[in-house]
Amino acid sequence: MSTSTRTTGTRPSAVRGRRPSPALGLPLALLTLASAVVLHLNRSAAWGWVAVGLLLAGATLVVLRLRRPSVRVAAWGVCTVLLAVTAFGSHPGPRHRPVAGEAATPGGIVRTTYGPVSGLRTADGAVEVFAGVPYARPPVGDLRWRPPLPPQPWTGVRQATAFADAPVQPSSSFALRALQQTVDVPLAEVFVNPYPTGEDSLYLNVWRPTRPRSAALPVIVTVPGGGFATGSGELTVLDGTPLARRGDVVAVTVNYRLGVFGFLAHPELDAESPHASSGNYGQLDQVAALRWVRDNIAAFGGDPRRVTIAGESAGGESVCLLSTMPVAEGLFHRVIGGSGACLGTAGDTAAGDQVDRREVARRAGRELSARLGGASVAQLRAMPAERVFAASREEPGRWRPSIDGHVLRRAASEVFAAGEQHDVPILVGSNADEASLARAAPPDTAPAAYRADVERRFGTQTAEYLRLYPGGSDEEVLDSILHADADRVVHRAMHLWAREHTRTGAADAYAYFFTRVPPDPALQEFGAYHGAELMYAYGTLGAAGEAEYTATDLRLSAQMTDHWARFAATGDPNGPGLPRWPSVAEAAEQVMEWGERSGMRPRPRAAAVDFWLRHRGPIA
């Protein structure tokens, strides 16, 4: 046998006997680990995991057959790119949640002034849901940045069985999903919208009990919060099913335009308006939704003469502003406001004021046009929403209600001081740890820097400020910063709202303070955080994450929903089996505490809140 024959004959056995070298094993292990981490952080769909597994298997077979190191490196590079594209791209994307649960059944048909709609029933048959009911025309094209118009009538039965898109807002990204997978944040869906978005979003949702009734029921219309930048009526924590299941309330949630699409003011828009005003389109959407409720809610079993508007955070600010708006007169009869009011200063939001004055808001509109190549309003309307939205995010805190001379004629504090607010009963309050979400990304807490900042900001008031908010250690500085933010922005606002409403109006005001810490071990550091009361008041315990809720939590939730239902029905939260709750006129220095034990207690953090009441501003 020749030499060439012997050599050729030994190659197959040599290949079969070779073990994978470190040049194969190490890259394979690293890519497998990295892919698994990305898939997990991305909340990838099952197909993403399968596809990544097949890619890794295929890459291993290919690399095993390659001899030249440079070719192997190139192959690993191609594999890495394919794996990254697959792992990052396999997030299932935003999806609507089921309207009435997974086992919903067809519901009845209701005739509205624009046409008939059909809904869904929950599996137990106790609640009927009508989702995605239009209250205005889609504000797209030439209707972008115009007051809402009534919807076009229809003749056939419209299926109100799916939620409408949320208003345009930031959507989930890989970075935000990864953060949520590694850090527990309360009410994550409020801050990171999980639902599809679009400009065609002016719809509302109705939940009604199916139990036979002899009279029309009070109605609670919820305006979602989210800093006028995020949020929707689809949020799980605001689901109206538990309220409707009680049998004594009809629940409604609404969408309204957010961000630049809801609050752009611009000189060209002023020129189009018969009132020479612009901005506040989101507020006008809320008014249009309330007009729809006035004209249609009786068909759903609701009483148009007993409409309560409710909101938390920016939703609380919204219902507070509605109380000052002449265009909203007669559309509601009670107000529930949580952790957000409208009695801050007017001036420039970039300087810390709550709302912009007319000229400041219009300047922001001109600057947006400049960022988009000097575009006119007509050109802005023709642009894709994504382009306008991206440009608006260079100044994200700017797009919110402003003084326009028509919708908001002057600062809300001036309206309340003059007693010109809509004089209806109000129920308002805040939570013990309103600013605690900042613990997820804490500020600088060096005591020396803290004291220097206090001296710069408060001058001769430094000693008083440091008595209220000491800063002897990093931990004490962090606590003081969070307390000061909560007192300045929220506790002051809610106390002032109740006080001014009582001082200048005839209708009652009721004040609360929520102190219950939800029993989720991962969220204990946040305490009674901003928005924690919602799942108790709406009966949606678990909407902010699974937890071992105790008898105390269930009892508190039942008590709060009882108070809300009584208030919606009569304008007075008191009723059989509930702790006595005097109005602010009866007990100005007392509030209803909702917590481990509920009952009246002295007004919380009174000295600190009074400090901010004396503060001249700017103040949000």
Catalytic residues: 313, 434, 530
Contact 236, 543 (CB under 8 A): yes
Counting Cα atoms < 13 Å in the Cβ hemisphere of 482 gives 26
**Per DSSP, what are the bridge partners of residue 329?**
none
Contact 560, 246 (CB under 8 A): no
Contacts of 222 (CB under 8 A, 6+ apart): 233, 238, 240, 251, 252, 253, 254, 310, 311, 315
For residues 615 and 488, what is the distance between their CA atoms, to the nearest angstrom?
9
Pull the structure tokens for residue 337: 């406001």
For residues 83 and 77, what is the distance between their CA atoms, to the nearest angstrom?
10
Coil, helix or strand for 533? Answer: coil
Contact 560, 579 (CB under 8 A): no
Contact 412, 501 (CB under 8 A): no
Q: Helix/strand/coil (H, E, C) string of 185-196?
A: CCCHHHHCECCC
Q: What are phi and psi of 428, to 5 degrees?
A: -135, 155
Q: What single DSSP character describes residue 19?
A: P
Coil, helix or strand for 361? Answer: helix
Contacts of 36 (CB under 8 A, 6+ apart): none
Other C-beta atoms closer than 10 Å to the C-beta of 84 total 15
Burial of 365 (0-12, 13-18, 19+ CB in 10 A): buried
Transcribe 94-138 into DSSP letters: --PPPSS-TT-EEEEEEEETTEEEEEEE-TTSSEEEEEEEESS--
Other C-beta atoms closer than 10 Å to the C-beta of 246 total 19
Burial of 408 (0-12, 13-18, 19+ CB in 10 A): buried
Q: What single DSSP character describes residue 521?
A: G
For residues 147 and 149, what is the distance between their CA atoms, to the nearest angstrom?
7
Transcribe 77-101 into DSSP letters: HHHHHHHHHHHHHT-----PPPSS-
